[in-house]
Amino acid sequence: MNQEQETSGGCLCGAVRFRITGTLRQIVACHCGQCQRSHGNFAAFSACDRDRIVFDEKRGLKWFDSSDKARRGFCGECGSSLFWEPTFDGYTSVSAGSLDNSGDLRLVRHIYTCDKPDWYEITDGHEQFEGSMYGRET
Ligand SMILES: [Zn+2]
């Protein structure tokens, strides 16, 4: 129904620019220790099928294998954290903050709350998972 929809995004300096066709998943906040380190706090990610991302600029795009299950994409020039890609599935998580216009997307869920540090509380009433949300799709 939304096949004409296109969402653009990129890093802070412009060395990574991309467009995504079609709808994006609602936003999930990941509180895991790896996201805390790479984002500076919890990470808010939308997501889409990997093959729906088209890069208009990718000279800055670098990948870091953050575990045997996933890699993280970031801009090597400005340091923006942009993507999370599992090795076991065909989707890419896209940092909500990298989107030029997040439109109708809303935060709907918290995951890996077991790793949440003590300096903030989750008080928005959205559902929380101590681990991942696999088996649960928006
Ligand atoms: Zn950049």
If pLDDT is split at 50, 70 and 90, which confidence band does 138 have?
very low
Quote the percentage of the chain above a pLDDT of 90.
90
134 inside domain = no
Q: What residue numbers bound the domain in which 96 lies?
A: 6-128
Assess if residue 1 is contained within a domain: no
pTM for the whole structure: 0.91
Domain count, the chain: 1
Ligand 1 center to residue 126 CA distance, Å? 32
Q: Assign residue 17 the CATH number of its domain.
A: 2.170.150.70
User: For 84-110, what is the mean pLDDT?
Assistant: 96
pLDDT for the residue 135: 46
- Using H for helix, E for strand and C for coil, what is the string for the chain? CCCCCEEEEECCCCCCEEEEECCCCCEEEECCHHHHHHHCCCEEEEEEEHHHEEEEECCCEEEEECCCCEEEEEECCCCCEEEEEECCCCEEEEEHHHECCCCCCCEEEEECHHHCCCCCCCCCCCEECCCCCCCCCC
| Residue 135 alpha carbon to ligand 1 centre in Å | 34
Indicate whether 16 belongs to any domain: yes
Residue 50 lies in a domain: yes
- What is the whole-number distance in angstroms between the Cα of residue 11 and the centre of ligand 1? 5
Cα 37 to averaged position of ligand 1 atoms, centre (Å): 18
Question: Distance, CA 13 to ligand 1 centroid (Å)?
Answer: 4
Residue 48: is its pLDDT beyond 90? yes
